[in-house]
Chains A and B, each alone.
Chain A
Amino acid sequence: MSYVHPEYLVETDWVAEHLNDPEVRIIESDEDPLLYAVGHIPGAVQVDWFSTLQHPLRRDFLTKEKFEEVASNLGITNDTTVVFYGDKSNWFACYALWLFQYYGHQNVRIMNGGRAKWEKESRPLVKEVASYEKTTYRAKEADKDIRAFRDDVLKQSTGKKPLVDVRSPKEYSGELISMPNYPQEGATRGGHIPGAVSIPWAQAVNDADSTFKTPDELRALYEGKGIKPDEEVIAYCRIGERSSLTWFVLKYLLGYPKVKNYDGSWTEWGNLVDAPIER
């Protein structure tokens, strides 16, 4: 068995062969925002989940108009093939891809293995910041089918529909309210959304080279925990970055037709007055 939508994944070899392809824009999106400045794939541009992709005031993403401006400044047209890669097994690469899809950019890919694999293969990294001629970019209206809001999540929970908690086991149990080794803040309550199953994000990737596990392994992992393609699935974590990797796996590698990422995640749910919590 192969991935259901293998066209959403490219290998490092493919990227190396398309460094100068005008139809392709390579975007680095990291957890550590300095990594791009330290060295990046030749010709790659950067988006930062925090300073580029968030609304400057509200807790939300940048507006559609701002997104158009960002895409235009990165030299992306509506037809450009956008390839994302990053650190931490592509957490924030998946987050950026999800947001590009949210505003309707269809032609997107993840570079399998991300930054770690590219480095491991001793491929070139450069410091020169790439710049491209501005384009005219027209975003679509936000695609709410891939983003869950708190009311959707409450309905999902009370309707006993599939919810995947991709945080670490101790965050799921409520012992910690943030990742181990991260500042313990952001939510006033610990635990998980009632009915959510625990499938930590990292189980979808290989430790050795950060690539995604095989289709069979992935299917066994999610179906084994009762997360099946026949129902709408919502994935969440702490702020929606780790769960965008899970969203990518379920939607494109396994081809689940209806998957949403809940970016409010635990930093919203664990602070929400009256929200049900299970421990």
Chain B
Amino acid sequence: MPLPPKLQEIVDDFASMTREEKIETLVAYSESLPSIPDRLKDQRDKMDDVPECMTPVCLLGEKQPDGSIEFFFEIPPQSPTVRGLAAILGNGLNGLKPEEILSVPGDFFLPMNLQDTISQQRINGFMGVLAHMKQTVVKLLGDDLNNFLR
């Protein structure tokens, strides 16, 4: 199954960047990470912590009327790398159907060549965020999951 088009675009962009361009782009993503909308603020304490991440990462998924999923993150500004990586996943996966999100392979990032820019620990954290987004999708599906699997 091919990657969702927006995510594929991001992967392709990174694949052709120098290390400096990757840093610049990650900073821009980090700065673009939207905060949680006011209407969801009361759900803040229901947000999932992502224990694989070195910084406190909170994640909230919301099922839209058309069945697609929107993700929201709360990550401190002192951790721009984690914010940037989360924003990439948000940009690449927001508004997609559950099955599209669940089908993203855990190693989709390999062509981005991030290992020249960030340490393996951080790449693992990045994968932890994706894994939690998938878990969130599974939780949101609830009873629908059985239909979905059928």
Contacts and interface: CB of A to CB of B under 8 A. Distances in A.
B125 A183 contact: yes
Contacts of B24: 37
Interface string A24-45: 0000000111110110000000
A132 interface: no
A122 interface: no
Nearest to B28: A37
A50 B119 contact: yes
B23 A183 contact: no
A32 B52 contact: no
Nearest to A119: B78
B81 interface: yes
Interface in B101-149: 116-119, 121, 124-125, 128
Interface in B76-113: 77-82, 84
B26 A87 contact: no
B51 interface: yes
A2 interface: no
A33 B117 contact: yes
Contacts of B128: 183
Given A51-B19, A185-B124, A33 B118 contact: yes
A35 B124 CA distance: 19
Contacts of B31: 38
Nearest to A36: B23
Contacts of A87: 78
Interface string B34-46: 0000000000000
A183 B80 CA distance: 18
Contacts of B116: 51
A14 interface: no
A139 to B, nearest CB: 24
Interface in A60-118: 87, 116
A219 B54 CA distance: 30
B15 interface: no
B18 to A, nearest CB: 13
A51 B78 contact: no
A33 B81 contact: yes
Interface string A170-196: 000000000101110100000000000
Nearest to A50: B119
Given A32-B82, A51-B19, A181 B53 contact: yes
B51 A32 contact: no
A34 B23 contact: yes
Contact of B30 (A34, A181, A183): A34
A35 B27 CA distance: 9
Contacts of A37: 23-24, 27, 80
Contacts of B55: 32, 181
A27 to B, nearest CB: 17
Interface string B65-84: 00000000000011111101
Contacts of A181: 51-56
A183 B128 CA distance: 8
A23 to B, nearest CB: 29
Contacts of A179: 54
A183 B121 contact: yes
Contacts of A182: 52, 54, 121
Given A38-B27, A179-B54, A32 B81 contact: yes
B56 to A, nearest CB: 8
Interface of A: 31-35, 37-38, 50-51, 87, 116, 179, 181-183, 185
5 contacts: A32-B78, A32-B80, A33-B118, A37-B23, A37-B80
Given A34-B23, A181-B55, 11 more contacts: A32-B78, A33-B23, A33-B118, A34-B27, A34-B30, A35-B78, A37-B23, A38-B27, A50-B119, A179-B54, A183-B52
